Amino acid sequence: MKKMIWFFIITVLLTGLNACKKDDSSIDDTKTPDNGFILPKKEMRAVWVTTAWGLDWPQDQHSAAVQKQQYIDYLNKFKALNINAVFVQIKGMGDAFYNSPYEPWSAAITGTRGKDPGYDVLKFMLDEAHARGMEFHAWLNPYRIATRAGSSTAYPDLHPSVEPDWVVSHEKIQIYNPAVPEVRQRLADIIKDLITKYAVDGVHFDDYFYPDPSAAGVMVADKDDYEKYGAGIASIEDFRRDNVNKAIKAVHDIIVTTRPEVVFSISPAASDTYNYNTLYADVLKWNQEGWVDIIIPQLYQQVGAATSDFKERLHWWHQFRYQATMMVGYAYYRFGDPAAPSAFQSANELKKQLELTKKYRASLGHVLYSAKYILQNPVGVTDTLTKLWNTPTVIPFLGRSVAADPGEPQNVRFEGGSLKWTTNGAVRSVVYFTPDLKQEAKVFTITTENTAVTPAAGYYCVTTINSDNKESKASDVIRKQ
């Protein structure tokens, strides 16, 4: 017994040390290559574009021309803010923003569920993002089919491919039943179809797994599911977590076998106790097993909040990210909201949060919720973001490598007032600049060209990045007088 107690104590201590060790490197991810440049930290800067209920897009606009222009306006604003990725919701209600054999066309597009809008919505959105050098991550809700105010309203008809016994209709939410093996297979099939047809850069899930009883109303019991499928599992709670684990692993596996360059991300709630005990999402296991490439906790409280303090949650998630890359989700929508705490009545709160996040070397991205608030600019928060994100950034390598490694640029030189260089293969080039080699460099531009107009005097170097976001060795430094 004493040996067992000591073994337990040592195990706990080692776990704590490992967790702390993960967080020891809480400094910016800058580095000085052989050429003397101090390179800036790589960062994804992204926005969630919500389509459920048309919240961000298309906002009850059912004209294709109006929808397209609205989306373009978003992207142009994001580009001006040096945002380099969008997370667009393409399956929010058991529906699709493309022609799917598994889901009906979304009612948000035409006003009628199942109605073809007459254009390839997803291809349009994807192509427009890529044309601006932005990544496109397809955001899906894995289980939700429909919501309603109460049982007096009928749920919409199911897609013909859906078996009724795959579905659970709670009082206020209808979902695919996470316990049913065919549901997990269907989810994997949906992902395979999506990433085969479309060149999305990522697949993204939000924090909806098992429903939260506080929002679902009267719940349908799953005791029969447990008896049917839960043999050998100690409790019904563990059974629910196991069902979600199997779904997450199935999605990871189908991505790896179909298009391994696609990254898989999940944005859990800030509280892991809530994730684990209410939504039955064992996020830490997903991180440990390497089933997710990016974890984006929704840190939607202010710095110093009495509960769920932004700073404390930020630190906690860095400790327990394990194999996942860490990014942060920000409550952009709370700025200027009269119901939000006083901290959100000033754009300085966003500045404070971004600066705290940047101190962690392992934090490699920011995702803002959500798109429409960036255009609305409540309490001048977008003006503040313009000042903070005043130069581009390079998205870090996040997933699995499929492209050839990028080669170092050659023959870097000034000709006629322009910086020029040569490259090989399908790569983009990153031009870095600093007026003083003792200062951290900035990204001057990211380009598909082999030339850049560089008006400022100072020091420049060039790298290349491939389609996996792997970056080459930096070129020699060249100085412009």
Residue-wise pLDDT tens digits, 137-181 = 999 999 999 999 999 999 999 999 999 999 999 999 999 999 999
Q: What is the pLDDT of residue 2?
A: 37
Distance CA 283, CA 280 (A): 9
Distance CA 193, CA 136 (A): 16
Name the nearest CA neighbour of 294 among 271, 245, 328. 328
Question: Is the confidence at residue 255, as pLDDT, over 80?
Answer: yes
Q: CA-based Rg of the chain, rounded to a whole angstrom?
A: 24
The mean per-residue pLDDT over the stretch 464-469 comes to 97
Angle between helices 181-197 and 236-258 (to 10 degrees): 30
Residue-wise pLDDT tens digits, 7-32 = 333 333 334 434 333 344 443 344 55
Share the mean pLDDT of the chain.
93
Residue-wise pLDDT tens digits, 316-336 = 999 999 999 999 999 999 999
Which domains are seen in the chain, by residue range?
A: 44-388 (3.20.20.80), 410-480 (2.60.40.10)
Residue-wise pLDDT tens digits, 367-395 = 999 999 999 999 999 999 999 999 999 99
User: Percent of the chain at pLDDT above 90?
Assistant: 91
Name the nearest CA neighbour of 336 among 383, 386, 304, 380. 380
Question: Is the confidence at residue 396, as pLDDT, over 70?
Answer: yes
Report whether 374 contacts 78 (CB < 8 A): yes
What tokens appear for 154 in the block? 């009928």
The answer to whether the pTM exceeds 0.75 is: yes
CA distances to 331, 375, 462 from 412, in Å? 43, 39, 8
